[in-house]
A and B are shown apart, each in its own frame.
Chain A
């Protein structure tokens, strides 16, 4: 069988690793300030560091970030829980997706009344996930808010996935909310930055990392560590991850600061963002302030006005925009509110004319649009008779 396998399938050469025994490994973790936490026969490591609030990280004191947590009034940044239930959280994983991708490092920065604590949980072996999640979940409580970078669609779903495997032995997952700074970076920095990765954003603000471990190498370090059980192998990953969490604290403060500073460059995007977040009144206020609104801004403003029952104010905007969608809105208004079928037909015909002139590769979309418009027109024609 072995011979047949190696005949048919090409693989890497097997390597022999020197394996550190369990107690020696634990001693090494303790020596570097780690705490060994056990659950039944499993164990994991907790690393903890304390930072004074006056300390500065990437231009801002931690104290400034802590105050921002309490005072942020932009709906994206507002948190509805006390500051010690906010975790600036990040994970390191063995892959990018799927049930078989495990998390081997979860860490977070959390404010205490007079300091910031930085905590990291290390999974010494995939076999010890129960201990890992047991202690992590007991530590964080039942109601928390995460400040993360892409945590809403990556880290947290991955925690949910892995929690499934140990769900009978550990606490249920807490109720969570997210302030995902990746979204804020996209809104505020995307127009100027080519990439909005955490690294790129840090560099943009003058804090390029120099000796940092490239993220994609983290799994390799972990696999080697699991084989040899020497904490030194994992050290670069732990440092990289530690820096990521602290960076989230500073970036939270920085982005709050940016959005509140009311710089005109963000004018239009600010309005759209508030609109998307559902802050209708705030968004409308912002739309009105835009000096030279784009068609997109006018259209979104008009739709928002329509939704809040201010259709009459929306009409001139729809007329200015003049796109198919806008003309359809006008047709709807004419047909249903003004009972003016003739105008409705006129608007619909204008819309059809625009679609017909469109030169586009997406033939299907055009056909769909045409179909819908013709349908509308036919109905209106029947109504007129």
Chain B
């Protein structure tokens, strides 16, 4: 039987329960913050004030008021707010205010995904309806019926869409959208922090095209953007829009006291170093919360994991009649199902929800009391976003991070200060990645001929236009460049995938279902025949990699080993762009060939078999940052090689934490005698052709990352080095060697 207990009581119980508290590596408390209010600015028309009042809003939070003020002064803004702080008002108020004043004005709302665009719509619709005016807002995406499309184009004051649709459905057909582009005054970009990496680099170029089309029709819209907490919101906003942007970050939404608990499942097999399953521990902890009637959200990293946890937890409510009070939430559920879940979460009918990061983004589900994270979500920003789901405005809340056995998770749970003591990551992108830039200049040339000397955003275009002319894609006459092929360029360019030639992963376990995709370069080592491919938390074995057809056929398995492929990498430095001490940033060519793979047993890391890989070699041109090590700290060549391995391994594990990227976005390789210097060198390079700014950021932030590496080694309780710190079983004073090496390296830069 459930017995309602408060979060405060629960905290007391957890603190005194040895089976829980013994596994807590860190207990962090964030103090409460009272609400800060400001009057509704006078720029908001009376009609709109009335609507606000009727919804019980008499005054605004400080950040909302400032967003309205800044926008009414004609500034483009980026508003940084935590989860559930009323951010939609930050853009809906200025936009609706303007439309009441000038009914012909138009606005474009961009959400990172189609689902989010539909989710956000309802709040806006309610306000628009309450205004009783002639304003119309429409969602325009792949699901919009052809009949409705004309109406959206001609009559939509507010058009809600996503970057993909803008890229392939709106901009290439801009002549059908004259009314929108002639009168566009505001562009709203929600969840700005998601526009990073390859996707962000693409979107920055879509925005260049958007601004170019607006200028053609005579409009110069202002931008209103919202972002979760990241280190560089203004930089990101300015990189994406190439506009001067004002920061609004005086969040006035109240927040109760929050407990952030780092929980490492106990070791169950000392010899093999195996910990209890994070999923079972998550289940145990979540069950306690549910039994105490504390409204809880559980985040899992994959859809499959969501379903597994859900099955466990629903056991608790087996005897319940009517709609379940414990539900799942993830992509793949019908929009109507999701709306229903959101509603029932808000009104408290649902006691627990198990979700993927789908609920991390701005869906309104109100505030829950507790949050359990099954594994580290990948970035600090994401961790705070998920943690932000718990936290009532008045009462205390509880966030429990349950670490899995992955090295990143273990790093986070063992050294929580890596996350807590530093600002969240900066979002990186490179709008001038040449491949992405050229792709979008093709789209732009299709949309409107380029003029000689015209800039594309801030980019000089002449070289690229001449290049495209030579390639017979454009044709120049009288200083204008005309599109000269019968292709529809936007069709061949996807904003989401990093490489145009991705390998599609097909699961043959049940029906042939596509479960993911991977760039060809990574596929060589991760999807070769017989490889064990980890997807979410599931193991799959690759039955066949069809490299020609770019398909990998996999089947679900349950084995006690993973595979590690040997990649023979030949790296050549093409150009050194900048050097500072022992670190250099530049361009490299990487020729890689997968040669053989080993089967490594979990826990013991022993080699239990191997096999050859037969795949053609691949070439990658990209950007890289490399570090030259000092052989003074090694007693022998073998030592030096181990040090190189250790430094490379540490940097590869730690860099993603600082660069807000996936572990697979950055590759490393080592050379005992670099061809251009003859010195031992560690290279880290962007996996995407042309680079997307990660190695450049690494060049900039190297000192901070080296610091973390030094601490990781120093703080590790082992004696001579272990896989968790130096990435291998050390010997003698190996740890000191590595620390000395890192310290010296840091000293030079």
Interface residues of A (CB under 8 A from B): 1-2, 4-9, 11-12, 14-15, 94-101, 125-127, 160-162, 164-165, 216, 219-220, 223, 226-227
Contact = CB atoms under 8 A, between A and B. Distances in A.
A227 B175 contact: no
A95 B467 contact: no
A97 B168 CA distance: 12
Contacts of B463: 1-2, 5
A324 to B, nearest CB: 22
Contacts of A99: 172-175, 446-448
A43 to B, nearest CB: 13
Interface string B416-455: 0000000000000000001100100000011111000000
B583 interface: no
Given A12-B471, A165-B175, A223-B485, A100 B435 contact: no
Given A127-B477, A127-B478, A164-B175, A11 B471 contact: yes
B470 interface: yes
Contacts of B486: 94-96, 101, 216, 219-220
Nearest to B466: A2
Nearest to A9: B438
Interface string B476-501: 01101011111111100000000000
A219 B488 CA distance: 13
B112 interface: no
A5 B446 contact: no
B472 A12 contact: yes
A98 B446 contact: yes
Contacts of B587: 4
A96 B488 contact: yes
A94 B178 CA distance: 22
B103 to A, nearest CB: 24
Contact of A98 (B435, B466, B488, B690): B488
Interface in B681-712: 689-690
B182 to A, nearest CB: 11
B172 A14 contact: no
A126 B449 contact: yes
B471 A97 contact: no
Contacts of A7: 621
Nearest to A227: B475
A193 B477 CA distance: 46
Contacts, number: 97
Contact of B434 (A4, A101, A160, A216): A4
Contact of A126 (B434, B447, B482, B488): B482
Contacts of A96: 486, 488
Contacts of B490: 98
A259 B176 CA distance: 36
20 contacts: A4-B434, A5-B434, A8-B435, A8-B690, A11-B467, A11-B470, A94-B483, A94-B485, A95-B485, A96-B486, A97-B488, A99-B174, A99-B448, A100-B446, A127-B477, A161-B176, A223-B475, A223-B484, A226-B482, A227-B475
Contacts of B448: 99
B491 to A, nearest CB: 9
A164 B178 contact: yes
A7 B589 CA distance: 10
Given A8-B689, A97-B173, A127-B478, 19 more contacts: A2-B463, A7-B621, A9-B434, A11-B470, A14-B471, A94-B484, A96-B486, A97-B488, A99-B448, A100-B447, A126-B477, A126-B483, A161-B176, A216-B486, A220-B486, A223-B475, A223-B484, A226-B475, A226-B482
B464 interface: yes
A98 B480 contact: no
Q: What are the 3 A-B residue pairs with the smallest beta carbon separation, nearest first?
A: A100-B446, A11-B471, A164-B175
Given A94-B486, A160-B175, A9 B446 contact: no
B478 A161 contact: no
Nearest to A157: B176
Contact of A15 (B467, B472, B480, B482): B472
Nearest to B587: A4
Given A100-B483, A226-B475, A5 B467 contact: yes
Q: Which of A6, A11, A100, A162 has the most CB of B within 10 A?
A: A100
Q: Which of B172, B438, B484 has the most CB of A within 10 A?
A: B484
B480 A5 contact: no
A97 B176 CA distance: 12
Q: Which of A9, A15, A126 has the most CB of B within 10 A?
A: A9
B471 A100 contact: no
Given A95-B488, A96-B488, A5 B475 contact: no
Q: Which of B478, B483, B587 has the most CB of A within 10 A?
A: B483
A101 B172 CA distance: 10
A165 B689 CA distance: 36
Interface string B143-177: 00000000000000000000000000000111110
A98 B438 contact: no
Contacts of B175: 99, 160-162, 164-165
A381 to B, nearest CB: 21
Given A4-B434, A5-B464, A164-B178, A125 B477 contact: yes
B434 A95 contact: no
B176 A14 contact: no
A160 B587 CA distance: 47
Interface in B482-528: 482-490
Contacts of A98: 172-173, 446, 488, 490
A281 B477 CA distance: 59
Nearest to B445: A100
A38 to B, nearest CB: 15
Contacts of A226: 475, 482, 484
Nearest to A126: B482
